[in-house]
Amino acid sequence: MARTRAPERTLLPSDEPLSLLRKDGSPVDDSPLAMPDDDVLVELYRRMVVGRRFDTQATSLTKQGRLAVYPSSHGQEACEVGSVLALRPTDWLFPTYRDSVALVTRGVDPAETLTLLQGGWHLGYDPYEHRVGPQCTPLATNTLHAVGFAHAARLKGEDTAALVLLGDGATSEGDTHEALNFAGVWHAPVVFLVQNNGYAISVPMSKQNAAPSLAHKGIGYGVPSVLVDGNDVAAVYAVVREAVLSGGPTLIEALTYRIEAHTNADDATRYRTSDEVAAWLDRDPVDRLETYLTSRGLLDNARRAAIAAEAEEFAASVRAKMNVDVEPSPDDLFEHVYATMPRHLREQAAALREELA
Amino acid sequence: MARTRAPERTLLPSDEPLSLLRKDGSPVDDSPLAMPDDDVLVELYRRMVVGRRFDTQATSLTKQGRLAVYPSSHGQEACEVGSVLALRPTDWLFPTYRDSVALVTRGVDPAETLTLLQGGWHLGYDPYEHRVGPQCTPLATNTLHAVGFAHAARLKGEDTAALVLLGDGATSEGDTHEALNFAGVWHAPVVFLVQNNGYAISVPMSKQNAAPSLAHKGIGYGVPSVLVDGNDVAAVYAVVREAVLSGGPTLIEALTYRIEAHTNADDATRYRTSDEVAAWLDRDPVDRLETYLTSRGLLDNARRAAIAAEAEEFAASVRAKMNVDVEPSPDDLFEHVYATMPRHLREQAAALREELA
Amino acid sequence: MSAVSMAGALNRALADSLAADPSVLVFGEDVGPLGGVFRVTDGLAARFGEERVFDTPLAESGIVGTAIGMAMNGLRPVVEMQFDAFAYPAFEQITSHLAKLRNRTRGQVSLPVVIRVPYGGGIGGVEHHCDSSEAYYTHTPGLRVVTPGTPDDAYRLLRDSIASPDPVIFLEPKRRYWAKGELSADSADSADSVAFDRALVRRTGRDVTLIAYGPMVATALETADAAAEEGWDVEVVDLRSLSPFDDETVCASVRRTGRAVVVHEASGFGGYGAEVVARVTERCFHHLHAPVLRVTGFDIPYPPPKLEEHHLPSVDRILDAIARLQWDDEVVGGHGA
Amino acid sequence: MSAVSMAGALNRALADSLAADPSVLVFGEDVGPLGGVFRVTDGLAARFGEERVFDTPLAESGIVGTAIGMAMNGLRPVVEMQFDAFAYPAFEQITSHLAKLRNRTRGQVSLPVVIRVPYGGGIGGVEHHCDSSEAYYTHTPGLRVVTPGTPDDAYRLLRDSIASPDPVIFLEPKRRYWAKGELSADSADSADSVAFDRALVRRTGRDVTLIAYGPMVATALETADAAAEEGWDVEVVDLRSLSPFDDETVCASVRRTGRAVVVHEASGFGGYGAEVVARVTERCFHHLHAPVLRVTGFDIPYPPPKLEEHHLPSVDRILDAIARLQWDDEVVGGHGA
Ligand SMILES: Cc1ncc(C[n+]2csc(CCOP(=O)(O)OP(=O)(O)O)c2C)c(N)n1
Ligand SMILES: Cc1ncc(C[n+]2csc(CCOP(=O)(O)OP(=O)(O)O)c2C)c(N)n1
Ligand SMILES: [Mg+2]
Ligand SMILES: [Mg+2]
Long-range contacts: A126-131, Cβ < 8 Å, 24+?
A126/D105, A126/D108, A127/D72, A127/D105, A127/D108, A127/D109, A128/D108, A130/A93, A130/A103, A130/A106, A131/A89, A131/A90, A131/A91, A131/A92, A131/A93, A131/A106
Q: Is B170 in the pocket of ligand 2 (CB under 6 A)?
A: yes
Percentage above 90 pLDDT, chain A: 95
Q: Is B168 in the pocket of ligand 2 (CB under 6 A)?
A: yes
Interface contact B208-D305, CB threshold 8 A = no
CA B88 to chain centre: 16
Task: Give the pLDDT of residue D184.
Answer: 85
Task: Give the pLDDT of residue D197.
Answer: 86
Beta bridge pairs of residue D203: D236
Percentage above 70 pLDDT, chain D: 94
Task: Give the pLDDT of residue D196.
Answer: 80
D97 given a catalytic annotation: no
Q: What does the alpha-carbon distance between residue C78 and residue B300 come to, in Å, rounded to a whole number?
A: 57
Percentage above 70 pLDDT, chain C: 94
- Categorize the per-residue pLDDT at D327 as very low, low, confident or very high, splitting at 50, 70 and 90: confident
Rg (CA), chain D: 20
Task: Give the pLDDT of residue A1.
Answer: 36
Q: State the average pLDDT over residues A217-240.
A: 98
Encode pLDDT of D311-325 as tens digits: 999 999 999 999 999
Q: State the average pLDDT over residues D54-72.
A: 98
Q: Which residue among A208, A210, A220 sits closest to B211, beta carbon to beta carbon?
A: A220
Count CB neighbours of B64 within 10 A.
10
Task: Give the pLDDT of residue C186.
Answer: 58
Residue C314: name the closest of C296, C291, C290, C299 by CA: C296
Ligand nearest to the CA of C129: 1
Q: Which residue among B123, B141, B343 sits closest to C105, beta carbon to beta carbon?
A: B123
Encode pLDDT of D287-310 as tens digits: 999 999 999 999 999 999 999 999
Q: State the average pLDDT over residues D88-108.
A: 98
Task: Indicate whether C212 pLDDT > 90.
Answer: yes
Interface contact B221-A210, CB threshold 8 A = yes
The active-site residue, picked from D129, D264, D289, D335, is D129
Contact D180, D127 (CB under 8 A): no
Give me the phi and psi of A145, to 5 degrees please: -60, -40
Task: Indicate whether C334 pLDDT > 50.
Answer: no
CA C31 to chain centre: 21
| Per-residue 3-state assignment (H helix, E strand, C coil) for chain D | CCCEEHHHHHHHHHHHHHHHCCCEEEEECCCCCCCCCCCCCCCHHHHHCCCCEEECCCCHHHHHHHHHHHHHCCCEEEEECCCHHHHHHHHHHHHHHHCCHHHHCCCCCCCCCEEEEEECCCCCCCCCCCCCCHHHHHCCCCCEEECCCCHHHHHHHHHHHHHCCCCEEEEEEHHHCCCEECCCHHHHCCCCCCCCCCCEEEECCCCEEEEECCCHHHHHHHHHHHHHHCCCCEEEEECCEEECCCHHHHHHHHHHHCCEEEEEEEECCCCHHHHHHHHHHHHHHHHCCCCCEEEEECCCCCCCHHHHHHHCCCHHHHHHHHHCCCCHHHHCCCCCC
Q: What does the alpha-carbon distance between residue D215 and residue D149 come to, in Å, rounded to a whole number?
A: 6
Q: Is A167 in the pocket of ligand 1 (CB under 6 A)?
A: yes
Contact A187, A249 (CB under 8 A): yes
Q: Is D58 in the pocket of ligand 2 (CB under 6 A)?
A: yes
Mean pLDDT of chain A: 96
Task: Indicate whether C195 pLDDT > 80.
Answer: no
- List chains adjacent to chain A, taking adjacency as at least 3 C-beta pairs closer than 8 Å: B, C, D
Using the 8-state DSSP alphabet, how is residue B207 labeled? H
Q: Per-residue DSSP letters for A40-98?
A: HHHHHHHHHHHHHHHHHHHHHHHHTTSSS-----TT-HHHHHHHHHTS-TT-EEE-BTT
Interface contact B210-A220, CB threshold 8 A = no
Contact C325, C160 (CB under 8 A): no
Give the strand order in the sheet containing A250-255.
Answer: A92-94, A162-167, A190-196, A250-255, A225-229
Strands (E), B1-141: 92-94
Encode pLDDT of D102-155 as tens digits: 999 999 999 999 999 999 999 999 999 999 999 999 999 999 999 999 999 999
Ligand 2 centroid from CA B274, angstroms: 22
Beta bridge pairs of residue B136: B96
Encode pLDDT of C53-107 as tens digits: 999 999 999 999 999 999 999 999 999 999 999 999 999 999 999 999 999 999 9
Q: State the average pLDDT over residues C28-55.
A: 98
Q: State the average pLDDT over residues C150-163.
A: 96
Using the 8-state DSSP alphabet, how is residue B171 labeled? G
Encode pLDDT of D112-122 as tens digits: 999 999 999 99
Q: What does the alpha-carbon distance between residue D128 and residue B138 come to, in Å, rounded to a whole number?
A: 7
Task: Give the pLDDT of residue D329.
Answer: 54
Q: Does B341 touch chain C (CB under 8 A)?
A: no
Encode pLDDT of B16-60 as tens digits: 999 999 999 999 999 999 999 999 999 999 999 999 999 999 999
Ligand 3 centroid from CA D230, angstroms: 69
Q: Is A199 in the pocket of ligand 1 (CB under 6 A)?
A: yes
Encode pLDDT of B258-274 as tens digits: 999 999 999 999 999 99
Q: Indicate which atom in ligand 1 lies nearest the CA of residue D92.
A: 1
CA A305 to chain centre: 27
Ligand 3 centroid from CA A55, angstroms: 17
Residue bearing the CA closest to ligand 2, atom 11: B200
Encode pLDDT of A36-60 as tens digits: 999 999 999 999 999 999 999 999 9
Contact A290, A45 (CB under 8 A): yes
Percentage above 90 pLDDT, chain C: 92
Task: Give the pLDDT of residue A8.
Answer: 66
Q: Which residue among C57, C64, C108 sits closest to B128, beta carbon to beta carbon?
A: C108
Ligand 1 centroid from CA B316, angstroms: 57
Contact D25, D75 (CB under 8 A): yes
- Find, in chain B, the residue whose alpha carbon is nearest to that of A224: B211
Encode pLDDT of A155-199 as tens digits: 999 999 999 999 999 999 999 999 999 999 999 999 999 999 999
Interface contact C69-B149, CB threshold 8 A = yes
Ligand 3 centroid from CA A38, angstroms: 31
Q: How far is CA A85 from CA A40, A45, A53, A237, in A?
A: 9, 11, 18, 7
Residue bearing the CA closest to ligand 2, atom 18: B167
Picking from C53, C60, C72, C78 by the largest number of B CB atoms within 10 A of its own CB, the best residue to mutate is C72
Q: Does C93 touch chain B (CB under 8 A)?
A: yes
Task: Indicate whether D333 pLDDT > 50.
Answer: no
Residue B281: name the closest of B234, B231, B233 by CA: B231
Mean pLDDT of chain D: 94
Q: Is D62 in the pocket of ligand 2 (CB under 6 A)?
A: no
Q: What is the ipTM of this complex?
A: 0.97
Q: Is B138 in the pocket of ligand 2 (CB under 6 A)?
A: yes
Q: How far is CA D314 from CA B120, D151, D189, D254, D277, in A?
A: 21, 22, 36, 22, 19
Q: What does the alpha-carbon distance between residue B146 and residue B192 come to, in Å, rounded to a whole number?
A: 9
C-alpha dihedral sign at A104, A109, A112, A114: positive
> For A156, what's the count of Cα atoms within 13 Å in the CB-facing half-sphere?
19
Task: Give the pLDDT of residue B48.
Answer: 98
Q: How far is CA B61 from CA A138, A221, B57, D305, D306, in A?
A: 48, 40, 6, 16, 16
- D231 — alpha (psi -120 to 50), left (phi > 0) or beta? left
SS3 (DSSP) at B241: helix
Q: Are strands A190-196 and A199-200 parallel, antiparallel or unpaired?
A: unpaired
How far from each other are the two terminal CA atoms of chain B, in whole angstroms?
Answer: 73
Task: Give the pLDDT of residue A325.
Answer: 83
Encode pLDDT of D190-218 as tens digits: 444 556 889 999 999 999 999 999 999 99
Interface contact D304-B122, CB threshold 8 A = yes
Whether residue C244 has a cis bond before it, omega within 30° of 0: yes
Interface contact C310-A352, CB threshold 8 A = yes
Which chain D residues contact residue A146 at CB under 8 A? 69
Encode pLDDT of A284-322 as tens digits: 999 999 999 999 999 999 999 999 999 999 999 999 999
Q: Is D86 in the pocket of ligand 2 (CB under 6 A)?
A: yes
Contact B333, B356 (CB under 8 A): no
Q: What does the alpha-carbon distance between residue D227 and residue D236 come to, in Å, rounded to a whole number?
A: 12
Q: Does B144 touch chain D (CB under 8 A)?
A: no
Which chain C residues contact residue A68 at CB under 8 A? 124-126, 305
Ligand 1 centroid from CA A124, angstroms: 21
Q: Which residue among C54, C56, C301 sits closest to A337, beta carbon to beta carbon?
A: C301
Beta bridge pairs of residue D262: D211, D294
Q: State the average pLDDT over residues B64-71.
A: 92
Ligand 3 centroid from CA A195, angstroms: 7
- Find, in chain A, the residue whose alpha carbon is nearest to that of C312: A352
Contact A268, A294 (CB under 8 A): no
Q: State the average pLDDT over residues B173-183.
A: 98
The active-site residue, picked from C97, C129, C264, C311, is C129
Task: Give the pLDDT of residue C151.
Answer: 97
Q: Does D141 touch chain A (CB under 8 A)?
A: yes
Task: Give the pLDDT of residue D188.
Answer: 46
Task: Indicate whether C2 pLDDT > 90.
Answer: no
Contact C39, C12 (CB under 8 A): no
Alpha helices in B168-267 (DSSP H): 174-186, 205-208, 233-245
Task: Indicate whether A110 pLDDT > 70.
Answer: yes
Ligand nearest to the CA of B172: 2
Contact D80, D45 (CB under 8 A): no
Interface contact C269-D138, CB threshold 8 A = yes
Which chain B residues contact residue C89 at CB under 8 A? 174
Residue C175: name the closest of C114, C124, C117 by CA: C124
Please report, as a single letter, which amino acid is at residue A321.
K
Mean pLDDT of chain C: 94
Beta bridge pairs of residue B192: B164, B251
Q: What does the alpha-carbon distance between residue D155 and residue B298 come to, in Å, rounded to a whole number?
A: 64
Q: Which range has the worst mean pLDDT, A136-140, A239-243, C329-333?
A: C329-333
- Categorize the per-residue pLDDT at A326 as very low, low, confident or very high, splitting at 50, 70 and 90: confident
Q: Which residue among C35, C88, C304 sits closest to A121, beta carbon to beta carbon?
A: C304
The distance of A145 to chain D (nearest Cα, Å) reads: 4
Q: Is C58 in the pocket of ligand 1 (CB under 6 A)?
A: yes
Task: Indicate whether C29 pLDDT > 50.
Answer: yes
Count CB neighbours of A341 within 10 A.
16
Give me the phi and psi of C127, to 5 degrees please: -45, 145
Task: Indicate whether C143 pLDDT > 50.
Answer: yes
- Categorize the per-residue pLDDT at D337 as very low, low, confident or very high, splitting at 50, 70 and 90: very low
Which chain D residues contact residue A112 at CB under 8 A? none
Task: Give the pLDDT of residue C329.
Answer: 54
Q: Is B169 in the pocket of ligand 2 (CB under 6 A)?
A: yes
